[in-house]
Structure 1
Amino acid sequence: MRIPAAGTVPWRVQEGGLEVALVHRPRYDDWSWAKGKLDDDEDWAVAAVRETEEETGLVVRLGPPLPEARYTLLGRDGSPDDKVVRYWTARVTGGHGHLVNEIDEVAWLDVATAHARLDYARDRDQLLALVRLQQTERLDTWPLVLVRHASAVARNEWSRDDQLRPLTAVGRARSADLAPVLAAYGVTLAVTSPSERCLRTVEPFANAVGVPLRTRGGLSEEGFAADPTKAHRHLTRLLERGEPALVCTHGPVLPDLLDELARRLDVEKPASVEVVEAFAEARDERLVKGEALVCHVVGTGDAARVVAVERHLP
Structure 2
Amino acid sequence: MPAAGTVPWRVRAGVLEVLLVHRPRYDDWSWPKGKLDPGEDWATAAARESVEETGLEVRLGRPLPEARYVVLTKAGERGDKVVRYWAAAVTGGHGRLENEIDAVAWLDVTEAYARLDYAHDRDQLRSLVRVHTDGALDTWPLVVVRHARAVARSAWTRDDTERPLDARGRERAAALVPVLAAYGVTRVVSSPSVRCLDTVLPYAVSAGIEPRTRGGLSEEGYAANPGKAVSHVDSLLRRAEPVVVCSHGPVMGDLLDVLGSRLALGGPDSVGMLEAFAQAQEDRLLKGEALVCHVAGSGTDARVVAVERHLP
For the aligned pair, the TM-score class normalised by the smaller chain equals: over 0.9
Following superposition of structure 1 onto structure 2, how do residues 185-264 of structure 1 map, counting pairs within 5 Å? 185-264=183-262
Q: Is the 8 A contact 1:136 1:269 kept in 2?
A: no
SS at match of 1:253: helix
Hey, what does 1:23 align to over in structure 2? Answer: 21
- Consecutive unaligned residues of structure 1, counting only runs of 5 or more, are none
CA distance in 1, matches of 2:198, 2:164: 8
Hey, what does 1:86 align to over in structure 2? Answer: 84
Count of matched residue pairs = 312
TM-score (norm 1): 0.98
CA drift of 1:112 comes to 0.4
Deviations 1:32-79 (A, max 9, x none): 000000111000000000000000000000000011111111122221
Stretch deviating more after TM superposition (263-272 or 181-190): 263-272
2:263 partner amino acid: L
CA drift of 1:270 comes to 2.9
Hey, what does 2:139 align to over in structure 1? Answer: 141
Deviations 1:188-229 (A, max 9, x none): 011000000001100111111111100011100001101111
1:121 partner amino acid: A
Hey, what does 1:11 align to over in structure 2? Answer: 9
1:26 partner amino acid: P
- Which of 60, 84, 88 is 1:62 aligned to? 60
1:46 to 2:27 alignment: no
CA distance in 1, matches of 2:119, 2:98: 25
CA distance in 2, matches of 1:202, 1:287: 16
1:268 to 2:266 alignment: yes
Hey, what does 1:293 align to over in structure 2? Answer: 291
Hey, what does 1:280 align to over in structure 2? Answer: 278
2:136 partner amino acid: R
CA distance in 2, matches of 1:170, 1:120: 42
- Consecutive unaligned residues of structure 2, counting only runs of 5 or more, are none
CA drift of 1:122 comes to 0.6
CA distance in 2, matches of 1:267, 1:55: 35
Structure 1 ranges of 4+ moved more than 2 A: none
SS at match of 2:61: strand
TM-score (norm 2): 0.99
SS at match of 1:42: coil
Hey, what does 2:102 align to over in structure 1? Answer: 104
Deviations 1:279-299 (A, max 9, x none): 001011000000000000011
CA drift of 1:240 comes to 0.4
CA distance in 1, matches of 2:266, 2:301: 14
The percent identity for this pair of structures is: 68
SS at match of 2:250: coil
1:305 to 2:303 alignment: yes
Deviations 1:236-292 (A, max 9, x none): 100001000111000000100101111111113332111111100101100000000
Stretch deviating more after TM superposition (8-17 or 74-83): 74-83
Hey, what does 1:115 align to over in structure 2? Answer: 113
Deviations 1:160-204 (A, max 9, x none): 100010101000000000011011001101100000000110011
1:32 to 2:16 alignment: no
